[in-house]
A and B are shown apart, each in its own frame.
Chain A
Amino acid sequence: MVDLFDRPHGDFLEEIKAAYSLGHGVYDERLERALSDVLADQLGRVEMSIRNSTEKHVRDAVRPAPMTSLRDVEAGVPFWPDLCDNRLLTFVQKTKD
């Protein structure tokens, strides 16, 4: 990630803008400008969080912590069978299979 920021000829921000289809006439002028500003601002924050971090991995350094899956949106609540006849659990698993 740091390499990406430091690449001599690359412009990471421009690549991100391209990923959002900015500069292709998709959005109207005002929205385009607003989106560009937000992207620049947010990239600045991410860059700062990485550069100022002592974490070993980028994924641990990025703030706000990135979402890696839709399930990450919320912490999962685990489901467990309640006390009941074990034969019933086996039976329903067999019927499910």
Chain B
Amino acid sequence: MANKGFTRGQTQVLFRHLPEAVFEHDDYGLCKVTQVALGDADVNRDALFDAIGDALAMWPSDFSTKYPDTRDVSRRSYYAVGSPREVRFVPYPQVFRCRSCSRTGKFTDLLKRGASASGRCVCGGYLYQIRYVQAHNCGRLEEVFVPQQSCSNCGSSKDLAFYDPGRVKQARWYCAKCKADVQALRMTPCKCTYNKSLPSGFHAEKYLRIVPTGDPSLYIPHTVAFVNFPEDDQGKLKNAPDALQLMLARTWGLLKNSVTDTIRERASMGKPEDADKMAETIEALRKFDPTNELVLEYDAKKKAPVGQKEVDRVNELLNSCNVTTTGTPRRWLVEHTTLLDRTDIGTIEDVAAIFRRTGDEAGARDIERGRDKASDLLGISDIRIVNDFPLALCAYGYTRTSRDPVRTVITPFPVDDRGRIPVYAIAAETEALWFQLDPLKVYDWLFKNGLVDSNVPASREEAWARLYAAVPGLRSSPHEPMYDQLKAVAVRTLLHTMSHLFLRRIEWSGFAPSSVGEYLIPGSLSFILYANRHAETKIGGLTTLFEQRLNTWLWDAVQSGRECVYDPICEDGGGSCAGCTHREHNCVCFNRELSRAAVYGGPTPQASAFQGARLAHGYWQEAWKAAPTE
């Protein structure tokens, strides 16, 4: 009876042992998690609710009604956020079958038959839990229906047996005493929102499906990752004057100093006591030496505070595109600048310099070749390694039978004792590779595919501004109308496809593709591949890949990205299927907005926003030039 200290890691709990999950316990056999107690979680709640809101927007509005709106601050009190601290469970299912005579019954019925003390059937055979349950797309879970009627032939009510050939269609209930057939497995109907969305008439999905307890589709937890920057910093950054312009300037490469420092310096200039003291000192100095360097510097600073030149430039660029910059910066912009300013980032130049210091000229040249290839032929302006990527992962609900938002209703975890919906989150620092596309090349690609009208801008900063003006969908949330703007879908498809293609060859890092997650920041033309580990230790696989094998990996991914085992059918159908771009795990967009056509050119998927239209120009059209020469 004593529990032998059954434990699981937090990450494992997050993916496999959240409420309503069925799992195998070492001592108690098949069990269902009833609740998971919450511990403290050091996560940015604003970012978390924003990320959940974006994730829930993937479901049709009818299928996510069980959630109070996470974008409404006043309704966030309906949620309780924390890390998994303790798991409670009950044995489940409670239907048992005899190994010898196949007699089957619910635990309550077995109690009546006096079998509970021994764990044996009336025939003396061993009983075991039936390893099937019923599940529906709406999240409903039921035990297998056990007929309650007596045998119509012999009248026995204690000898119901289950014939289990391993196929639902052939499984039968029968009387173990007289062998008379009782009935087939019941097709339990469901009256749920999902069924209402189906066309009238018979449809197999209107009934609960018999699922083996070990089937991964029985319980699919839905998680969302977000950059976990400190809440205080975020507030300061967002509310500072000209924060939006400063962050855009930083993201577009105009501002070299960190936004936090710039904002702090600008704020301190404005403090009356500091300004008074400084002014007195400078005025005293001015009398003595009016051309003193400090006096001139002070005058210049007074005229234009730190970052003002960049703020003005951003305003000028956006005004030329007829865009006015108002409002507070959005999460993507805060994320991008926070990553730039607050994390330990290694660049290709840093690594090459280290190699040279240690006398490894070949290594330095190799990684620089990778950089040049990425920049000239692949349209990637920056590749960086982030050694302390601040990642948080939160589980906000689950689906059954399918992962696809169109075919499932997302269900929140059962409310806790205080009536709040639990959200499970864990935060960690992990290693990550950060890619940023060249805005000039992206604009050029949009232009060549007829998605933007005007010619390619002259400089990167102009390209950033033009993209900001012409593709507002890139910085919109999924629930906003501009999100589905065709140009925005095109750029997101490009980023997402590149991310998946690089992940196809991520084995170079020592990680399996399923161990690496992706994070897209379309607004800054970025995507991040991170080691999906939520532990204190780092393996260093991505760091080693960046330092030692970047060139090889990039080229391998680009070359193999063209291939699909289902070609030419896949290529003709839009270049996106389980054989090429789809990922089994960790796809933030449920394998939507993917097409090899974006990078290599060709027809797009019929079901996409492009409706099968052909993209004449692939983003990696020139990549063949990177082929090794003899």
Instruction: Return chain B residues, CB-CB under 8 Å to A74.
Output: 9-12, 534-535
Does B363 have its Cβ within 8 Å of any Cβ on chain A?
yes
Interface size on B, residues (CB 8 A): 51
* 9-residue interface stretch from A2-10, A17-25, A29-37: A29-37
Write the chain A residue with the least CB distance to B118: A94
Write the chain A residue with the least CB distance to B426: A74
User: Across the interface, do A92 and B29 meet the contact criterion of CB distance under 8 Å?
Assistant: yes
* 9-residue interface stretch from A46-54, A55-63, A79-87: A79-87
Instruction: Return chain A residues, CB-CB under 8 Å to B91.
Output: 84, 88-89, 92
CB distance from B214 to the nearest CB of A (A): 16
Instruction: Return chain B residues, CB-CB under 8 Å to A73.
Output: 9, 535, 537
A77 to B28, CA, bound (A): 17
Does B187 have its Cβ within 8 Å of any Cβ on chain A?
no
User: Across the interface, do B119 and A78 meet the contact criterion of CB distance under 8 Å?
Assistant: no
In-complex Cβ contact of A30 among B6, B96, B360 (8 A): B360
User: Across the interface, do B107 and A88 meet the contact criterion of CB distance under 8 Å?
Assistant: yes
Does B201 have its Cβ within 8 Å of any Cβ on chain A?
no
- With A84-B90, A96-B29 already in contact, the answer to whether A77 and B547 are too (CB < 8 A) is no
User: Across the interface, do B119 and A64 meet the contact criterion of CB distance under 8 Å?
Assistant: no
A89 to B36, CA, bound (A): 19
User: Across the interface, do B3 and A80 meet the contact criterion of CB distance under 8 Å?
Assistant: yes
In-complex Cβ contact of B28 among A31, A33, A76, A81 (8 A): A81
Instruction: Return chain B residues, CB-CB under 8 Å to A77.
Output: 7-10, 13, 17, 36, 84-87
Instruction: Return chain B residues, CB-CB under 8 Å to A82.
Output: 34-35, 88-90
Instruction: Return chain B residues, CB-CB under 8 Å to A64.
Output: 537
Q: Is the interface of B mostly helix, strand, loop or mixed?
A: mixed
CB distance from A35 to the nearest CB of B (A): 9
CB distance from A31 to the nearest CB of B (A): 6
Looking at B28, B29, B87, B534, the one whose CB has the most chain A CB atoms below 10 A away is B28
Write the chain A residue with the least CB distance to B363: A30
Does B100 have its Cβ within 8 Å of any Cβ on chain A?
no
By a beta-carbon cutoff of 8 Å, the part of chain B in contact with chain A is: 1, 3, 5-13, 17, 25, 27-29, 34-36, 84-91, 94, 96, 107, 110-111, 115-120, 126-129, 358, 360, 362-363, 534-535, 537, 547-548
Residue pairs across A and B with Cβ atoms less than 8 A apart, 11 shown, are A64-B537, A76-B7, A77-B36, A78-B87, A79-B3, A79-B6, A79-B87, A82-B89, A88-B94, A93-B27, A95-B96
Looking at B11, B13, B27, B96, the one whose CB has the most chain A CB atoms below 10 A away is B27
User: Across the interface, do A79 and B89 meet the contact criterion of CB distance under 8 Å?
Assistant: yes
Write the chain A residue with the least CB distance to B36: A77
User: Across the interface, do A89 and B1 meet the contact criterion of CB distance under 8 Å?
Assistant: yes
A95 to B117, CA, bound (A): 10
User: Across the interface, do A90 and B116 meet the contact criterion of CB distance under 8 Å?
Assistant: yes
Interface size on A, residues (CB 8 A): 31
Does A12 have its Cβ within 8 Å of any Cβ on chain B?
no
A37 to B8, CA, bound (A): 36
By a beta-carbon cutoff of 8 Å, the part of chain A in contact with chain B is: 30-31, 33-34, 37, 64, 67, 71, 73-82, 84-85, 87-97
Instruction: Return chain A residues, CB-CB under 8 Å to B3.
Output: 79-81
Instruction: Return chain A residues, CB-CB under 8 Å to B36.
Output: 77
A34 to B115, CA, bound (A): 66
Instruction: Return chain B residues, CB-CB under 8 Å to A78.
Output: 5-7, 86-87
- A71-B9, A75-B9, A91-B115 known, 5 other contacts, Cβ within 8 Å: A34-B363, A64-B537, A81-B28, A91-B107, A93-B28
User: Across the interface, do A80 and B128 meet the contact criterion of CB distance under 8 Å?
Assistant: no
- With A87-B116, A94-B118 already in contact, the answer to whether A31 and B548 are too (CB < 8 A) is yes
CB distance from B359 to the nearest CB of A (A): 8
Instruction: Return chain A residues, CB-CB under 8 Å to B120.
Output: 94
Instruction: Return chain B residues, CB-CB under 8 Å to A71.
Output: 7, 9
Among all A-B residue pairs, the 10 with the closest Cβ atoms: A94-B119, A76-B7, A74-B9, A82-B88, A92-B91, A82-B34, A79-B6, A95-B119, A79-B87, A84-B90
CB distance from A95 to the nearest CB of B (A): 5
A90 to B28, CA, bound (A): 9
CB distance from B422 to the nearest CB of A (A): 14
Write the chain B residue with the least CB distance to A73: B535
Looking at A33, A79, A84, the one whose CB has the most chain B CB atoms below 10 A away is A79
- With A89-B28, A91-B119 already in contact, the answer to whether A81 and B88 are too (CB < 8 A) is yes
